[in-house]
């Protein structure tokens, strides 16, 4: 008998809640592609988006704000799930579990006592939906010495690996991460650096929308090579994996420090930030003879960024993950549906070569209604 799971992802782009409804086969050893039955994107309210953005940085009374926002977020997740179930014409009692990533507000893998926080009251989510919730996926990996990120490579391996081709899966959200699927070798993966986050912050500061749709604003500018070199000088890009980062590091304050007193045209900064994301991905792949690169996440739709990647990686066949059967928007949410399935079937959800953990472990915790 097959099992139905819901996956929820609200990532560092802060664009909203991505949900998927997935059917998995009856046996953990099944190699069959999970069946995506339906999906939905529910944008954040402007107030919730602003509050989540505020929580990504230290500020006054942030604990009080976190407590309030955590409840709002759980209610937003629950409302989105009810919309998805209505759309798919599926009853709550048919769902085995919800796999929910939560919203990252802090990720400090290099602190003296490393920690990561993903908020959203999962007990409230379970109570509101009357469905079990599997969440808190990152902290067990950290307990075993890992960075708690990235977690999607185990899912990428399960459904995208090909025995006769060196593939990479590139997710471009607020932060970009890469999974390296080299035949007959351990899976590797890490955060390459900024994805859409800095670009989104910049265009918002100009009052031109929440993100640069299709890269049209970037296309009106010119790459400033001195600024690009300054951005790429950050020590993060010289680190070897395992490594991970977040918007609490690559944030507007980080960019302001790089800009200093230089007065670049706003469109030129946007164009340079787009190239910066592409160049940082190229750095991550400089010693990798990959044949195919499949892109997912919101950045897959940025035509200027996609073109930059094609120019910088001319020997690589570059496509969206849709060519593998899963739309770019759905991959991460589907990964957390799979992580909930993996929790139920005692399948390890981390890869030590990716996160740096001492061993592979089953990830997550169960929240019941």
> Where do the domains of the chain lie?
3-148+330-367, 152-324
The answer to whether 129 is annotated as binding is: no
Q: Nearest Cα to 299, choosing from 225, 359, 235, 212?
A: 212
Instruction: Give the global pTM.
Output: 0.92
The answer to whether 189 is annotated as binding is: no
Predicted confidence at residue 31, as pLDDT, reads 52
- Whether 34 and 9 have beta carbons less than 8 Å apart is answered as no
DSSP, collapsed to helix, strand or coil, labels residue 124 as: helix
The answer to whether 15 is annotated as binding is: yes
pLDDT-derived band at 56 (thresholds 50, 70, 90) equals confident
Token pair belonging to 53: 């953005």
The answer to whether 16 is annotated as binding is: yes
pLDDT digits (tens, 9 = 90+) for 65-107: 999 999 999 999 999 999 999 999 999 999 999 999 999 999 9
CATH class as words, domain 152-324: alpha beta
Domain 3-148+330-367, second-level architecture: 2-Layer Sandwich (3.30)
Q: Nearest Cα to 323, choosing from 191, 173, 169, 139?
A: 169
Predicted confidence at residue 33, as pLDDT, reads 66
Q: Chain centroid to CA 262: how far?
A: 32
pLDDT digits (tens, 9 = 90+) for 162-186: 999 999 999 999 999 999 999 999 9
The answer to whether 12 is annotated as binding is: yes
Mean pLDDT of the chain: 94
The answer to whether 11 is annotated as binding is: yes
Establish whether domains 3-148+330-367 and 152-324 are of one fold. yes
Phi, psi of 97 (to 5 degrees): -170, 160
The answer to whether 96 is annotated as binding is: no
How is the beta sheet containing 16-24 ordered, strand by strand?
35-43, 16-24, 3-9, 95-100, 133-135, 365-367
**Which DSSP string corresponds to 201-250?**
HHHHHTTS-SS-GGGHHHHTS---HHHHHHHHTSGGGGPPSS----TTTS
């Amino acid at each position: 008998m097959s099992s139905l799971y819901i996956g929820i992802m609200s990532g560092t782009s802060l664009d909203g809640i991505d949900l998927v409804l997935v059917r998995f086969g009856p046996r953990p050893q099944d190699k069959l592609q999970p069946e995506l039955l339906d999906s939905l994107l529910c944008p954040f309210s402007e107030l919730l988006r602003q509050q989540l953005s505020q929580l990504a940085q230290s500020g006054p009374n942030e604990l009080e704000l976190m407590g309030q926002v955590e409840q709002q977020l759980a209610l937003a997740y629950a409302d989105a799930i009810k919309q998805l179930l209505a759309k798919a014409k599926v009853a709550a009692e048919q769902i085995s579990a919800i796999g929910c990533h939560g919203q990252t507000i802090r990720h400090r893998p290099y602190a003296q006592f490393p920690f990561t926080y993903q908020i959203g009251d999962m007990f409230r989510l379970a109570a509101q939906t009357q469905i079990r919730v599997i969440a808190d996926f990152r902290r067990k990996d950290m307990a075993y010495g890992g960075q708690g990120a990235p977690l999607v490579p185990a899912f990428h391996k399960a459904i995208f690996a090909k025995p006769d081709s060196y593939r990479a899966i590139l997710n471009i959200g607020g932060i970009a991460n890469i999974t390296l699927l080299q035949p007959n070798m351990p899976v590797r993966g890490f955060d390459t650096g900024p994805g859409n986050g800095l670009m989104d912050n910049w265009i918002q500061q100009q009052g031109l929308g929440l993100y640069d749709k299709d890269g049209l604003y970037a296309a009106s500018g010119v790459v400033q090579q001195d600024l690009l070199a300054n951005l790429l000088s950050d020590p993060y890009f010289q680190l070897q994996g395992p490594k991970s980062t977040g918007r609490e590091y690559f944030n507007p304050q980080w960019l302001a420090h790089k800009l200093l007193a230089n007065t670049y045209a706003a469109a030129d900064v946007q164009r340079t930030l787009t190239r910066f994301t592409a160049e940082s991905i190229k750095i991550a792949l400089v010693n990798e003879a990959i044949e195919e690169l499949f892109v997912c996440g919101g950045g897959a739709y940025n035509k200027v960024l996609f073109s930059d990647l094609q120019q910088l990686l001319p020997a690589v066949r570059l496509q969206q993950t849709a060519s593998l059967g899963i739309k770019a928007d759905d991959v991460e949410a589907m990964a957390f549906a799979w992580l909930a399935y993996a929790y139920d079937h005692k399948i390890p959800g981390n890869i030590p070569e990716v996160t740096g953990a001492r061993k592979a472990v089953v990830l997550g915790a169960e929240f019941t209604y």
